Structure 1
């Protein structure tokens, strides 16, 4: 019964946070200086999902969101959807979303409760910026037909905004974890009995 209850809760969290990412797609996207990858708020959603749900549930929520997009639902910023978006210049970022969420979740959950803002911010930067860019930038270069340095230079336009999103995501995750401390695993107490005095 307990396992069934946990599974139901996991499914509810997965669906809720997939919807959260979708809602952020209602904010219009824009492409600075004609760069082929638009700036959207949905990467903020991925960061929050990772920091709140942990690696397994966060990846599941993002994959569920991407499945709905692949099925044609216009859930991406600008009302985009369908398989075609996975062949465009943004494809690497989309495919990197579940990886970013999983990396953030793994780092946050590895530390466990209580949630610490500084650690949450570092985890969000590592997963939501470094890991995401590592996948997104090369695919942008490939799909847009531009050089890797040009893709890196263009992606630098996102950096300040993504750092601001990382800070906001870390703060939001902290508020969620304070409201529901059960989301984070308890940190095992350190055994000091074997330490010589």
Structure 2
């Protein structure tokens, strides 16, 4: 009698547990073939933009390049997880030896140069761009979306890319933090323009392909 009376409650408990498990699984990010393809394409885009000749900046030896547009687009278009993974893939392939960094450089030797901090910060830069993009694309359109994406790109850059670059130049080029900061300031005007351009491109992509940021 006790077993029979308790069985409905047990069934309800098992049903609730199954529902909770299914709900948790639904919230867990999973990468499908479509996501993997996007990650590979945007890592290749960052590599292609890096192939454009950079502008020398003088003593730091770190040129102004277009690769940060590619990294910003990884986050602005793909969102935080896939954008982070696309930037991480790009960095990993470069460190493994592919000549896909600025001036066709690659390999672990990059970590001993002035650009090491910039390169290592790329995945975090894309992550912050992606977090703001995921919020903005669901709520905003047109010029407002462009403004938020551009400001998000600048925020991500000045929270991750520039501090990482300053620290890397200070360590690898034997500069004081103040000297490294002054060297980094040469990149600020270009960084503003590149994030504005990346936001324009990202808005264009989201307008043409509104489902690109929707992960199934």
If the length of structure 1 is used for normalisation, what is the TM-score? 0.87
Aligned residues: 183
Equivalent-residue separation in structure 1 for 2:68 and 2:158 (angstroms): 9
In the TM superposition, what is the alpha-carbon distance from 1:107 to its structure 2 partner? 1.3
Q: Which whole-Å CA distance do the structure 1 matches of 2:60 and 2:31 have between them?
A: 43
Gaps of 5+ in 2: 1-29
1:157 aligns with 2:186: yes
| Shift of residue 185, structure 1, vs aligned partner | 5.0
| Structure 1 alignment gaps of length 5 or more | 187-197
Tell me, what secondary structure is at the counterpart of 1:39?
A: coil
Query: Counterpart of 2:12?
Result: none
1:136 and 2:161 aligned: no
| Structure (1 or 2) with the larger CA radius of gyration | 2
CA contact (8 A) 2:60 2:173 kept: no
Alignment RMSD, CA only? 1.9
Alignment of 1:35-46 (within 5 A): 35-46=60-71
Partners of 2:87 and 2:126 within 8 A in 1: yes
Q: Aligned partners of 1:34, 1:150: CA distance in 2, in Å?
A: 11
User: CA-to-partner distance for each residue in 1:159-190, whole Å, 9 max, x for gaps?
Assistant: 1111000100010000011011113359xxxx
Partner residue in 2 for 1:97: 122
Divergent runs of 4+, >6 A: none
Q: Residue 60 of structure 2 contacts residue 169 of structure 2 at CA under 8 Å; is this kept in 1? A: no
Confirm or deny: 8 A CA contact 1:129 1:162 kept in the other structure: no
Query: Map of 1:186-197 to 2, 5 A cutoff?
Result: none
Report the equivalent of 1:190.
none
TM-score (normalised: structure 2): 0.79
Is 2:149 the counterpart of 1:88?
no
Say if 1:37 and 1:140, in contact at 8 Å, map to a contact too.
no
- Quote the residue 2:48 is aligned against: 23
Render the CA deviation track for 1:3-38: whole Å, top value 9, x for unaligned: xx9600100000000000010121112321232322
